[in-house]
C-alpha cells in the first residue's frame, strides 16, 4: 500500500513539475502589437501599478510586499498573477503554502524506505510547484472564458451606443448582462468612473488586470476615439468581427494540431504508466532503479528527459494566432 502511495505521489509531483516549468518558460512580456498599442494609447498602467503597490493600513500585514516577493519580482509580478487568477490570496500566504508543499514532498521522500533521500530536493521542488500550477491553470481558464465573452460584450456595447446610451451606461449594461469574469471587470471599471477616476485610467487598469489582446484593442480604440472623435459603435463592430475571425482561425489551428497534442500526451504518459505496470509484474526488477546508483542516475535522467520532451512538444503545437 505504501509503495502505491509513493508511486502516485511521484507521478503527481513529476506532472506538476512539468506543467510548472512549461508555464515558467512561457513568454510573460508584452508582444510587439501590445507595445504599439501602449504607445498609441499613452499607457498609464505603470503609474497605476505603482499606486496599487502602496499598502494601506488594513493590508499592511499579510498584503505588504515582503523580501521574498521582491526577490521573485524579477521573474514576474506574483500579485498580478494571483489577481488575474481571481484568487483573494496575498503573496505571503502563497509562499507559505508553497513551503508547506515542499516540506511535505521532502518528508515523503525521507520518511519512506523505498525512496532514497537523494531524491528529496526533486520531490520538494515538484510538490512546491503544485500551488503555482494550480494558479496558472485557474488564470488560463479565466482568461479563456473572458476571451470567449469579449465578442458578445462588444456587440452589446455597440448596440447600447446606437440606442443613445452613453459609454458609461454601456459599461453598466455589460456588467449587468454578462456573466463572470467579464461582467465584474466591466462593472469595476464603471464603478471606478463613478468614483472620479478618468475613463482612460480605468481602462488601463482593466487591461492590466486582464492581459487580453482583444481587450487591449478595445481600450486603445476607446481612448483614441475620445481624443480624435469618430463613430465608436462602428469601431466596436469591426473589432468584434476581427475577434470572431481570430476565434475561427484558432479553432482551425486546434483541429490541425490535435494529432500532435494527442501524440504528446501519449508519449508523456507512457513512461509513468509503463513504470506502474512493470512494478506490478516484476517488483524487484523495478526497485533496482531506487537501490542501485546507476539506476538512480537513469531515473534522474528520465525525469529530465520527460521535462525537456514536454517543453519541446508544447513549443511545436503551441501556435500563436
Q: Give 84-132 as a DSSP string.
A: HTT----HHHHHHHHHHHHHHHHHHHHH-TTS-GGGHHHHHHHHHHHHH
The packing angle between helices 182-194 and 199-209, to 10°, is: 150
Which residues make Cβ contacts (< 8 Å) with residue 151, sequence separation at least 6?
240, 243, 244, 247
Residue whose C-alpha is closest to residue 146's, from 80, 213, 76: 213
**pLDDT per residue over 80-120, tens digit each?**
888 888 888 888 888 888 888 888 888 887 777 766 677 77
Cβ neighbourhood burial of 50 (10 Å; 0-12, 13-18, 19+):
exposed
Per the CB < 8 A criterion, the answer to whether 16 and 306 are in contact is: no
The alpha carbon of 315 is separated from its chain's Cα centroid by a whole number of angstroms, namely 17
List the chain residues with pLDDT less than 50: 1, 24-31, 43-65
Structure confidence at residue 27 (pLDDT): 41
What pLDDT is attached to residue 9? 56
What pLDDT, on a 0 to 100 scale, did the predictor assign at position 189? 92
What is the C-alpha separation between 319 and 19, in angstroms, rounded? 18
How far apart, in whole angstroms, are the C-alpha atoms of residue 102 and residue 98? 6
Helix (H, G, I), strand (E, B) or coil at 181: coil
Measured distance CA(195)–CA(105) in Å, rounded: 48
List the domains of the chain with CATH numbers: 2-29+66-143+260-317 (no CATH), 148-255 (1.20.81)
What is the model's pLDDT at position 170? 92
Q: What is the pLDDT of residue 8?
A: 56
pLDDT for the residue 187: 93
Q: 268: Cβ–Cβ under 8 A, 6 or more apart, which residues?
A: 18, 306, 309, 310, 313
CA dist 291 and 278 (Å) reads: 16
- What is the model's pLDDT at position 265? 87
Residue 50 C-alpha cell reads as 505603482
Residue 53: the pLDDT is: 41
The predicted pLDDT at position 29 comes to: 43
| pLDDT number for residue 203 | 92
pLDDT at position 145, please? 92
φ, ψ dihedrals at 56, nearest 5°: -95, -175
Cell of 98: 508553497
Give the pLDDT confidence score for residue 63 in this predicted structure.
47
Q: Which residue in this structure is represented by grid cell 505521489?
A: 9
* 232, 52 contact by CB (below 8 A): no
What pLDDT sits at residue 162?
Answer: 92
How many residues comprise the chain?
A: 321
Amino acid at each position: 500500500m505504501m509503495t502505491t502511495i509513493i508511486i502516485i505521489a511521484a507521478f503527481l509531483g513529476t506532472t506538476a513539475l512539468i506543467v510548472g516549468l512549461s508555464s515558467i518558460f512561457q513568454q510573460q512580456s508584452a508582444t510587439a502589437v501590445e507595445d504599439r498599442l501602449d504607445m498609441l494609447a499613452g499607457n498609464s498602467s505603470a503609474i497605476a501599478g505603482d499606486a496599487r503597490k502602496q499598502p494601506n493600513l488594513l493590508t499592511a500585514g499579510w498584503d505588504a510586499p515582503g523580501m521574498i516577493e521582491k526577490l521573485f519580482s524579477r521573474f514576474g509580478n506574483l500579485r498580478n498573477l494571483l489577481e488575474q487568477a481571481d484568487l483573494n490570496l496575498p503573496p505571503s500566504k502563497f509562499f507559505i503554502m508553497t513551503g508547506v508543499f515542499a516540506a511535505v514532498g521532502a518528508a515523503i521522500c525521507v520518511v519512506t524506505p523505498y525512496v532514497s533521500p537523494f531524491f528529496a530536493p526533486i520531490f520538494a521542488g515538484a510538490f512546491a510547484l503544485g500551488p503555482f500550477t494550480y494558479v496558472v491553470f485557474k488564470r488560463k481558464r479565466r482568461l479563456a472564458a473572458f476571451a470567449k465573452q469579449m465578442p458578445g460584450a462588444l456587440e452589446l456595447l455597440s448596440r447600447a451606443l446606437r440606442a443613445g446610451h452613453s459609454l458609461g451606461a454601456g459599461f453598466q449594461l455589460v456588467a449587468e448582462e454578462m456573466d463572470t469574469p467579464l461582467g465584474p471587470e466591466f462593472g469595476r471599471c464603471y464603478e471606478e468612473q463613478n468614483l472620479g477616476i478618468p475613463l482612460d485610467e480605468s481602462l488601463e487598469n482593466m487591461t492590466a488586470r486582464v492581459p487580453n489582446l482583444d481587450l487591449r484593442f478595445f481600450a486603445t480604440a476607446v481612448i483614441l476615439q475620445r481624443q480624435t472623435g469618430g463613430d465608436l459603435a462602428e469601431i466596436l463592430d469591426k473589432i468584434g468581427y476581427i475577434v470572431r475571425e481570430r476565434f475561427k482561425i484558432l479553432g482551425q489551428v486546434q483541429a490541425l494540431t490535435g494529432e500532435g497534442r494527442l501524440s504528446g500526451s501519449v508519449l508523456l504518459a507512457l513512461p509513468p504508466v509503463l513504470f506502474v505496470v512493470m512494478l506490478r509484474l516484476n517488483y524487484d526488477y523495478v526497485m533496482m532503479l531506487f537501490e542501485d546508483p546507476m539506476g538512480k542516475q537513469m531515473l534522474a535522467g528520465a525525469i529530465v528527459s520527460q521535462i525537456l520532451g514536454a517543453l519541446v512538444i508544447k513549443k511545436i503545437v503551441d501556435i500563436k494566432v
